[in-house]
A and B are shown apart, each in its own frame.
Chain A
């Protein structure tokens, strides 16, 4: 079936370095993608989104890149801070108003 998945379950980075979290999706018809941050014991928090007619979108310290050719999505976090430590999920809008979540990557920031 269609799915959204991640390459790395855990990413450890030094404070101040840039982080790159990757996501692969398989539904070529998907046209909207979202990155969420989830801290322990909390619900997902919206970070940034991108539509399929774009290949890059920037926010504050975050950038999302979309490569439709290889069905790959990435989240780049600049100057990673301890507060960025969390699990990050990509989500894909496929059928109607529903979201399909990827497997998640845990980001650990070392001081």
Chain B
């Protein structure tokens, strides 16, 4: 159980276009979803936290108008990279948690990641 999927697994786009990445919890309801970005040979950096039905909370330095996050249902969150540029090329990973209390840690289940390449 506790499977998280991402779609697409990889995408190549032209500079200036927008790209949407989906994160789905397949067998549980994810009250919270997290979006991470990972550059080559680097660690995962949290971009934002989203709770179903409310606005996402972005980490410092992450542009909310560039990285649009929608968590419209308990099984789906989307990350849209708007006006993508080559420096946005990265591995984007989501995780999902079924916990209801944001004050304590609830196990995060990670998706397989999406490789974005912006030409």
Q: Enumerate chain A interface residues (CB-CB to B < 8 A).
A: 32, 36, 41-46, 89, 93, 96-104
Contact = CB atoms under 8 A, between A and B. Distances in A.
Contacts, number: 55
A97 B110 contact: no
B43 A97 contact: no
A60 B49 CA distance: 32
Interface residues of B, number: 29
A98 B51 CA distance: 13
B104 A96 contact: yes
Interface of B: 4, 6, 32, 34, 41-46, 49, 91, 93, 95, 97, 99, 101-108, 110-113, 115
A102 B113 CA distance: 18
B93 A44 contact: yes
A45 to B, nearest CB: 8
Given A42-B113, A43-B111, A101 B105 contact: no
Given A89-B44, A102-B43, A97 B97 contact: yes
9 contacts: A42-B112, A43-B4, A44-B110, A93-B105, A97-B32, A98-B34, A99-B34, A102-B43, A104-B41
A58 to B, nearest CB: 19
Contacts of A46: 107
A42 B34 CA distance: 16
B99 A97 contact: yes
Contact of B43 (A43, A89, A93): A89
B106 A97 contact: yes
B113 A41 contact: yes
Contacts of A98: 34, 46, 49, 105
Nearest to A32: B105
B37 to A, nearest CB: 11
A96 B103 contact: yes
